[in-house]
């Protein structure tokens, strides 16, 4: 491949991955005021930097006599690499491991103008300053020593990559599951609130029925009393009329007897009506009470089932959020700027748990 054999390119890849790790870890550690093992892997390697450096060297070799073309090759090549890598990683792992959304002239947070401009200057710096002593060092290495180092580092790199990818995939699935559980919990909470509101409404309705029927019974009693008083008044009036007509004493006696009979009949009829009203009111209250009791019993059982479901789902989600393997914790802590548009809340919660685990 141009002026270097393939195994030198692999050596360059590991060297620049290591230098990239040193740069990123130092920069982020200063910002966070704590040591940050930056990157996706647990080894002190950042493959994006190694791949970018090799690609920039590879692209710039044909145009190395022109600084402008070297700059443009670095801008285009590194920007394409950064975008493709960011896009693929987010689709695979559900997380955006770097995010330029707060930068001006960014595209979907994967790339931005300032970063692309910096890549161009870094390509010139790499090809003109950094790479020359490194190339001399690699070319001067004993072939057997270089081969042994490549085998050892390569095996560790492959093993670390496999475990890290698995951990990142598990983390993405966990974030997705936590987000779905949160949505389900919110829905269950709404259902439980509606059930409690319906139970409260039915209890209030039952109280209103009781109050209404009591009022009806009271009115019935008052009506019966009024009818009795009217009957008494009529009987008294008839007695007075009969008393005035002394010459018709026999007729007066008949009038008194008739009035008394009418009054007694009215009282009896009024009492019967009042009894019917009370009986009907009592029957309606009992019916409403039984219906409300059945409704409340059914809804209370439903609420208890929802509460049990909410408790079980909450415990499952907490267990999922609190599970912190070595690789998961280091992925979260090693990428403090990672973000997720879909699972941001779950990512924040899990990152807080990772910090707590680290502090314990």
Q: What is the pLDDT of residues 329-342, one digit of tens each?
A: 888 887 877 888 88
pTM of this structure:
0.67
Confidence at residue 47, expressed as pLDDT on a 0 to 100 scale? 92
Determine contact, residues 86/329, Cβ cutoff 8 Å.
Answer: no
Q: What pLDDT sits at residue 137?
A: 93
Cα separation values, 321 from 121, 293, 332, 345, Å: 42, 41, 12, 11
Token representation of residue 35: 């040591």
Across the chain, what does the average pLDDT equal?
Answer: 79
pLDDT of 49 > 50? The answer is yes
pLDDT digits (tens, 9 = 90+) for 242-261: 555 554 455 545 555 655 66
Residue boundaries of the structural domains of the chain: 6-141+335-359, 185-323
């Amino acid at each position: 491949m141009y002026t270097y054999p393939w195994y030198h390119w692999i050596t360059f890849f590991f060297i620049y991955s290591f230098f990239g790790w040193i740069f990123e870890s130092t920069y982020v550690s200063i910002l966070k005021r704590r040591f940050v093992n930056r990157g996706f892997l647990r080894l002190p390697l950042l493959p994006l930097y190694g791949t970018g450096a090799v690609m920039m060297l590879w692209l710039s070799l044909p145009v190395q006599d022109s600084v402008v073309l070297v700059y443009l090759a670095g801008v285009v090549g590194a920007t394409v690499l950064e975008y493709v890598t960011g896009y693929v990683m987010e689709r695979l792992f559900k997380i955006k491991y770097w995010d330029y959304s707060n930068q001006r002239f960014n595209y979907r947070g994967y790339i931005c103008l300032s970063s692309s401009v910096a890549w161009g200057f870094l390509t010139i710096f790499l090809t003109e300053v950094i790479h020359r002593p490194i190339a001399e060092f690699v070319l001067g290495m004993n072939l057997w020593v270089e081969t042994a180092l490549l085998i050892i580092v390569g095996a560790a790199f492959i093993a670390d990559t496999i475990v890290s990818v698995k951990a990142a995939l598990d983390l993405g699935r966990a974030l997705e599951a936590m987000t779905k559980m949160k949505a389900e919990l919110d829905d269950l909470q709404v259902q439980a609130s509606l059930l409690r509101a319906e139970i409260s409404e039915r209890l209030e309705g039952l109280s209103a029925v009781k109050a209404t029927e009591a009022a009806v019974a009271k009115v019935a009693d008052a009506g019966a009393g009024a009818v009795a008083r009217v009957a008494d008044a009529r009987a008294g009036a008839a007695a007075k009329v009969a008393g005035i007509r002394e010459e018709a004493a026999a007729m007066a006696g008949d009038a008194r007897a008739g009035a008394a009979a009418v009054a007694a009949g009215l009282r009896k009829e009024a009492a019967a009506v009042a009894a019917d009203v009370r009986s009907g009111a009592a029957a309606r209250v009992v019916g409403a009470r039984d219906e409300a009791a059945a409704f409340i019993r059914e809804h209370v059982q439903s609420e208890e089932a929802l509460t049990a479901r909410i408790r079980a789902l909450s415990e499952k989600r907490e267990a999922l959020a609190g599970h912190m393997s070595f690789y998961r914790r280091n992925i979260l802590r090693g990428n403090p700027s990672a973000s997720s548009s879909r699972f941001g809340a779950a990512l924040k919660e899990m990152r807080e748990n990772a910090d707590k685990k680290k502090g314990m």
